[in-house]
Structures are given as structure tokens and as C-alpha cells.
Chain A
Amino acid sequence: MSTTVFDAHTLPADDNVNPYAFSVDLNGQWFLQKGKMIAYYGQISFDGIGHGPLDSLVASSFHSPLHASDWVVASGKGRLLLADRAFDVNSYDLDDGNLTIRSGNLLAFDPRLSLKQSIIPGFVTLIGTGKFVAASNGQVHFVEPPIRVDPQALVGWADCPSPCHHYDHQYLRGFLGGVRHLTGIGGASGEEHQFEFTGSGTVLIQSTEKLIAEQATGAVPDEQGVPGGSPRWSR
């Protein structure tokens, strides 16, 4: 195995350098999560969103100013290398589609896409056409519904309805199950709860249950009918 030495011209354009680093051929603007840039060639400036001339981007690409401060805009021309704690990194293309992903897993995205908060807490949704880069602990595996997924192994889903919770407590029923439930003898299988996907689309799963730390997606407005919004009933 030989080591390839890259320079500004031989670095891959919008492709992986190795399984853990991704090179963006930047000409214009990209959004990236804070702290995910590892190196760059060229003239690139990194600005926090919401300051000065970039103010209008919040309106066009974020729609929700609440979590915009977790993102920076890379603008300029050059090659930009992205990585996240040696997790597997991959790019995905959306073609007039939608994809919901765990907030901590999303590294960077094309400004043609718009980022919105999902109604599932901890997840964000990307809508439109463009490229984005996401990290996962172990390679991502694509599966099609109907499927039930361990909550920790779920990375995201595309073009399919939001999941629901599935509980499986069959082994806690009956006489022996009751004894088990009361005494704790025999323990739990750790698989009593899954996310169930139905309908058509694609589900992205990672090969381990170890999560990437979540990024705050911001609070939702305190409103009736908004999941996670605080007033649960009207006064």
C-alpha cells in the first residue's frame, strides 16, 4: 500500500479522500457544522451565520434562526477537507427530495438545499436538490421499509413517512414473564423498543449502536399542536 500525496489539483473534487475525510470542490458557498473543517487549499473564509452580509442566508436556507449559530459558511474558492473524529464520512445527493438525519451526523451541505428542523426531536430535514456530507459510526447501510430499526442504529431516512415507536414486551407476559418482570431475573434483551418504518423510501442505518453526539437543533416555538412545544393544554 502506498501513500498518495495530494496537492490542490489532485485532491478529489466532491469525493472522499479516504473513508474518514471528504474533499469539497468549493466555488461559492457551503454550510458546515462548527469545527468540522480539517484543512483547505485556496481562498476560503469562514463566517458565522447571522453576521453582516450573510444575514439573508438564514432566511433562505435555514428557515429557523434558532440553530443557525451552530453553522458556519465557508465562502470562496478552493478545496475544503471535512472530517469528524475519524467517523466514516460519505456524501449523498438529493434530487428534488427530502432526507431527515440525526442532527449530529450532518457535517456540511450545499446551500441549494434548505435545512429545517424535523418534528422528531434531534433530527433535521434537508429539502431540495444538492449534495450533503454526513458522518456515521461505521458504514451506512441502506434498507427499504418495512423494517424495524434499533433507535441507536438509525442515522436517517429519505422519502418515507416518519417512523413510529414499536414496543415488544412479549417475553414479559404470562406467568414466567411476570416473575421475570417482578424480580428482574433474566434481565432485559435490550431490544424491546424499535423504530418502525412503513411505506416506500430508504432508511439509513449505521453498523453500531454507538451514537455521534447530538447537536442542539434549537427549541421549537411554544405553541399548541407543536410536538415538544411546552403548553400542552390551553388555559
Chain B
Amino acid sequence: MSGFRPVNGKMIEATVNPGQVLYSQRGAMIAYRGEVSFTPSLTGGQGGVMSAIGRRVRGEAAPLMTVEGRGTVMFGHGGHEVHVIDLTGELLHVESDRLLAFEGSLRQGTVFLGSQGGVMGLVRGQATGQGLFTTTLEGKGAVAVLAHGGVFELPVTPGRPVNVDPQAYVCHRGQLTNRLTTALSWRDMVGRGSGEAFQLELSGQGTVFVQASEEKL
């Protein structure tokens, strides 16, 4: 049972109960019923002051707010499609500005892309627009991510990697390694390239979420 119910393609509804905290992107509340308070989260998520400083330094400090109280809240942002992902103990990698809302039961962290593939990891971070760090969420709970155009899921199994356009990549769940593959040729140098010179190859066991657009948020 997900804590987030889709209202339509661009809006979700969440129930808040005392003792259960939700985190959401600031300003993404559409409407609410009941007594609910919205507090800008000083630490931009969980994990205390040190991890908050870590996030700030790494540029992954998304402006989040804490949603608590009793009632139902509707969220939506910027006219983007919303996709709800239910995590049952897996790990989700997502860019912080794509996070619309997530349940407080999830553990939030930040990973350095360079730790996965060294220099190529850094290049990949730049090419995909992810920067050098990305946000991780782990545990049991629901996450709502924003995407331009609808989102669909591509399963990845060992031996069957998936290649995605870095601009269409939204997030991924599970134990996946990503590798930036290049198909640069002399044609790209003279401006006659295919426009698909960079691709993101994801391999391992998990799911990749792809948006039906090449527009970044």
C-alpha cells in the first residue's frame, strides 16, 4: 500500500498522520485538508547537521520542507508528470531536484559519482547533468519523482544491460552500475553527428526509470 495516491498524471495525494513525517520540495503543495504544517527543513532532509553540511557542500541540498500534522496533502510541481515509486528495502538513486516528495521512513544519503568509475564517473556526471553527486534513498516507503513527459520502467537483469539517453534518464532502483559510453567519431567534430554520441549504460539487477522527453528539469 503506497502512501502516495495519484490524483491525475501530474498530482499526488498523501495522507499525513501524527508521528509520520513527509519531506517534499518547497512550494510543491497544491492544497491540503486538516491541520498540516509546512516547515522549511533546515537540514534539507535527514541525518543531522553533518550530513546536511555534506549535502550543502556537494550541491545536493534540495530545498525541502517537512510536512507534518494530520490530514491529506496534494503535491504537484511545474506541470511535470509525477511518478510514484514504492521502495521495499531497495536503493534508489535520484537527482535531488527531481524529488517531489518522499516518506520520512526512507534513509537519505548522497553518493559521489566519482566513486563509481573514477574519472569517467565525473565525466558521466557532467554529461548527464547529474553533477558530481547524486541523492540516494533507501528503505521502505514511497517516493514521488518529477519527469517531463510520462515515465516508464525498464527492467535490467544481469547480462541484459540497458542503454539510455542521459537526458531521458530519471532515476534508477536496485544494484546497478552505470557507465557512460561514447560513440564519438570524426562526424561529431564536423557537426554531422547523430546526436546520440553519449549514452548511459546501466547493468546489474534493478529498474531504470526513463522519461519520454529529452528535456531536463
Asked whether, in the complex, the Cβ of A149 is within 8 Å of the Cβ of B31, the reply is yes
Number of A interface residues, CB 8 Å?
30
Residue A60, interface by CB 8 Å: no
Q: B180 — which chain A residues lie within 8 A by C-beta?
A: none
Q: B65 — which chain A residues lie within 8 A by C-beta?
A: 189-191
Residue B29, interface by CB 8 Å: yes
Asked whether, in the complex, the Cβ of A148 is within 8 Å of the Cβ of B78, the reply is no
Residue B7, interface by CB 8 Å: yes
Asked whether, in the complex, the Cβ of A209 is within 8 Å of the Cβ of B78, the reply is yes
Which residue of chain B has the shortest Cβ distance to A145 in the bound complex? B33
Q: A209 — which chain B residues lie within 8 A by C-beta?
A: 27-28, 30, 76-78
The 8 A-B residue pairs with the shortest CB-CB distance in the complex, in nearest-first order: A190-B27, A207-B10, A191-B38, A208-B79, A207-B11, A189-B65, A186-B42, A207-B76
A228 to B32, CA, bound (A): 29
Asked whether, in the complex, the Cβ of B30 is within 8 Å of the Cβ of A153, the reply is yes
Asked whether, in the complex, the Cβ of B31 is within 8 Å of the Cβ of A150, the reply is yes
Number of residue pairs A-B, CB distance < 8 angstroms: 95
A139 touching B8 in the complex, CB below 8 Å, given contacts A208-B78, A209-B78: yes
Residue A138, interface by CB 8 Å: yes
CB A140 to nearest CB in B, in angstroms, measures 9
Contact string against B for A residues 160-189, beta-carbon threshold 8 Å, 1 for contact and 0 otherwise:
000000001011000000001000011111
Asked whether, in the complex, the Cβ of B79 is within 8 Å of the Cβ of A139, the reply is no
10 extra A-B contacts, CB within 8 A, seeds A170-B37, A180-B40: A137-B79, A139-B8, A139-B9, A185-B42, A187-B26, A190-B27, A191-B26, A205-B30, A205-B31, A207-B8
Which residue of chain B has the shortest Cβ distance to A192 in the bound complex? B38
Asked whether, in the complex, the Cβ of A148 is within 8 Å of the Cβ of B40, the reply is no
Contact string against B for A residues 96-140, beta-carbon threshold 8 Å, 1 for contact and 0 otherwise:
000000000000000000000000000000000000000001110
